[in-house]
Chain A
Amino acid sequence: MSLNIIVLAKQVPDTRNVGKDAMKEDGTVNRAALPAIFNPEDLNALEQALRLKDMYPGTKVTLLTMGPARAAEIIREGLYRGADNGVVLSDRAFAGSDTLATSYALSAAIRKIGNYDLIIGGRQAIDGDTAQVGPQVAEKLGLPTVTYAEEIVNADGGHVVVKRRIESGVETVKAPMPLVVTVNGSAADCRPRNAKCLQKFKYAAVPSEAAADEKKKALIEKRQYLSIGEWTAATVEADLAQCGLAGSPTKVKSIENVVFTAKEARKVDNTDEAIDDLIKELFANHTIG
């Protein structure tokens, strides 16, 4: 038995290595100053897909990402680790998408890919931390969702068995395919790049990347597996009203740079009264609540 798996991935600014110039003066993210990386939990998701591929030979893993052409870099990263092919969903019409518009575009692309058993994504992206896109994609495709997955144990008999991280422990659930699974960061780390895959796919590119390089273009022409899909809104027959800014009810008002200024620790007596005061204070300054 083999599966068709689509892995949802996102290229994100590396918010774990934030320097001084990470934010512009107007409060927006200075993407140029942050290296673009494979969203960490999407790598956890890819690992789950690759493990299923190890378990069920013949399984095909397709990576899907939405972003500019340079997001093809994470498709290549996925190919180096064992994915079979990939698609970059790239169109100006998608610019400014919030989670609703993103999930709309992704679900249109997934329909276009078709014939899927399993859609796996990271729980959330480190630049937005919403954790909404996976479940929204499921909703749009009319599929069940399993969130916070730590391990996809098997995919036998039309069902998947998934261990998911919940607050008090680990819950094992069984769900029918096709479905969407979002994977938690506590799942196994993604395997390293493989030397053979790396050498095989290092020239893989989307058409717009290869356009300027005749040698690469000719090679891709000859070796079709090096061609990474580059799809527009038209390719996936998306309704433009639901795409990008037009399709995004979320509007970012402003982004604030919150700097914690307290330098010294404060000691609070271990009495109900003192703790009560502290909690009230934390509510008042919006630290909690």
Chain B
Amino acid sequence: MANFYTDNPNLKSHLQHPLMKKIVELKERNFADADKYDYAPLDFEDAMDSYDKVLEVVGEICGDVIAENAESVDHEGPRVENNRVIYADGTKKNLEACRKAGLMGMAMPRRLGGLNFPITPYIMAADIVSRADAGFENLWGLQDCAETIYEFADEDQKSRFIPRVCEGETMSMDLTEPDAGSDLQSVMLKATQKEDGSWVLNGVKRFITNGDSDIHLVLARSEEGTRDGRGLSMFIYDKRNGGVNVRRIENKMGIKGSPTCELVYKDAPAELCGSRKLGLIKYVMALMNGARLGIAAQSVGLSEAAFREALDYAKDRKQFGKAIIEFPAVAEILSVMKAKLDASRALLYACARFVDIYKIYDDIAKERPLTKEEKLEAKAYSKLADAFTPLAKGMGSEFCNQNTYDCIQIHGGSGFMKDYRCERLYRDARITSIYEGTTQLQVVAAIRHVTTGTYLNFIKEALQAPVSEKHAGVKKMLEDMAAQYETAVAAVIDAKDSAFTDFMARRLVEMAGHTVMGCLLLDEASRSEAFDKSLEVYVNYGKAECAKHADFIANFKLEEMQAYTF
């Protein structure tokens, strides 16, 4: 009888952020669907009430079904029979519950069978699902791929595939190959156009999450003789047509319920999605940004699970005659865990709101030309989304790993045993800082916004908002962090050495991240005192982290880089 939405009031605070009014009104085109669809909202309050109610259903399914099945799914896992994946029983039940509840295709428009939810409440659902079972989040969250079809496929393809996703068919994005992991430009899967104009795919893909899905998005080389990203196109493969077999599934450390497949394409019929040659440079980039936001949500959900497990255990476990939570050393770990959780969640939803606004403008632009103001606004939010996505994914996944590590630490020796949930969380967390771009690649994506000032501008603007008396001290600390960050960035840029910038990039991005998250928590705390403690703990923590990096950068001489080579 658990509900993972209603037992966590912070989620509702994020959902009710002031920017939601703008998002909902844009997304609903001033509620034009109200007379066309019986489940469309009548006004802003009605829409918000619907998100709240649907998230309550998500919370209930997560608490009662998905979390309950998580352990058996972890043990049983999926298997391959006759080249097809068979999910664990618990996974089948989870999927069935999500289908029956109509939680597939949540962000798709109503005319294609979706709920037309903005990204923000959809990402909130992903956060909640991940707390219940991070591995299942992958299967459920791959409905993201429908977004790519919606954005780039033609009208006929949209009307054929998207309603199927809304009905509950699953998806996969087939990108990685044995020799093309982080470097997707090397993708070799061959797309051949036949005389009648149709396409077939031949080759091998590896590490494909949910690779036996119903509808695949496939990155393949359509331009013979090319070797770089410009020769790649995006294809849609429909499992109903056959031609792709699952050779094996990986035996993984974590997220074991989510099948990771090696796929063999043998004259598999497929259709081109969008324009030729834009597969990697445009579509995969868009797909990856959505997927990265999903992993950021997965990380936050896991962090939440880890914090709760640790807190419960620390309250319950008695040593030296008292509960261990009463020892400052333990209480500090828990406080920092909670602060990291709240900070990464604030960043996740800030990012989701930015993504919402620019994507909705993109969509409106298909219906009518945007006004000049709208164009400027769309561009500004697009830039913020671009800057915040790698930050949310990179730092969120690192925090999630730290929190699951600390969760085991709180459990002591018991945490090392298979008997407690924390060991599964620890294993499940490990992949979050690797897939959909490692933390190191998130830094590569984020550093542009360090050098061009996107983060600093955001921070400066955020710190202009007036704060209450009780937050004055924290605000001062954040101003100091911002100044320190500005100095460190200038020092690195002034060196005019790209290798040096790459070397220092992680430190600079982390400094930006800590300061940005501090500002976001300050904003949340201005509306709800539930964030006060995390704000204080996080800014203390972040300031010390920033000082460490600032010290390293200030005292580092360019020639010392020699010591860091092999």
User: Which A residues have a C-beta under 8 Å from some C-beta of B?
Assistant: 17, 191-200, 202, 219, 223, 225
Contact = CB atoms under 8 A, between A and B. Distances in A.
B100 A198 contact: no
B115 A202 contact: no
A200 B46 CA distance: 11
A193 B42 CA distance: 21
Given A195-B39, A198-B57, A199-B54, 17 more contacts: A191-B100, A192-B57, A192-B60, A192-B61, A192-B101, A193-B57, A194-B100, A195-B54, A195-B101, A195-B106, A196-B115, A199-B39, A199-B50, A199-B115, A200-B39, A202-B53, A219-B42
A193 B54 CA distance: 9
Contacts of B101: 191-195
Contact of A195 (B40, B49, B57, B97): B57
Interface in B11-53: 38-42, 49-50, 53
A195 B101 CA distance: 6
B445 interface: no
Nearest to B96: A191
Contacts of B50: 198-199, 202
A191 B96 CA distance: 9
Contact of B53 (A191, A199, A219): A199
Contact of B102 (A17, A195, A219): A195
Interface in B76-120: 97, 100-103, 106, 115
Q: Looking at B39, B41, B61, which has the most chain A CB atoms within 10 Å of its CB?
A: B39
Chain B interface residue bracket vs A? 20 to 34
Contacts of A199: 39-41, 50, 53-54, 115
Ordered nearest first, which 5 A-B pairs have the shortest CB separation? A199-B39, A195-B102, A191-B100, A192-B101, A200-B39
A198 B100 CA distance: 12
A219 B41 CA distance: 12
Contact of B54 (A198, A219, A223, A225): A198
Contact of A196 (B42, B60, B61, B102): B102
Contact of B103 (A195, A200, A223): A195
A200 B50 CA distance: 10
A285 to B, nearest CB: 35
Contact of A192 (B40, B42, B49, B97): B97
A242 to B, nearest CB: 38
A264 to B, nearest CB: 26
20 contacts: A17-B1, A191-B97, A191-B100, A191-B101, A192-B65, A192-B97, A192-B101, A194-B101, A195-B39, A195-B57, A195-B101, A198-B39, A198-B50, A198-B53, A199-B41, A199-B53, A199-B115, A200-B39, A202-B49, A202-B50
A17 B1 CA distance: 10
Nearest to B53: A198
A191 B49 CA distance: 22
Contacts of B42: 219
